[in-house]
Amino acid sequence: MQQRTRVLTIVTGAGVALVGGIVTVVYLFQPWRSCPYDDSPAACAMLPADAAVLAIAVVSTLIGALVLVIGLLLRPREEAR
């Protein structure tokens, strides 16, 4: 049972960190935005809703990384016979 918990923790942490990281990068560059005062979408001012999504994505990435590290640090116990 301990090994299953460890694997589930590692997979969950890695998945959350990966998705959070992707969303963070996408929202930092904002490829869907355009603004008349600059050529680069990343230079446009961020909307409040975009900032909220970015903040949630950053926190999710950190939490996912923490869960991943905890899963990697868990040591499987020897089965008692």
pLDDT recorded at residue 58: 97
Predicted confidence (pLDDT) per residue in 11-63, tens digit = 999 999 999 999 999 998 888 877 777 777 667 788 899 999 999 999 999 99
**Residues 49-53: contacts with CB under 8 Å, at least 24 apart:** 53/23, 53/27
Quickly state the pLDDT bin for 1 (edges 50, 70, 90): low
Instruction: Say what the pTM is.
Output: 0.80
pLDDT recorded at residue 35: 79
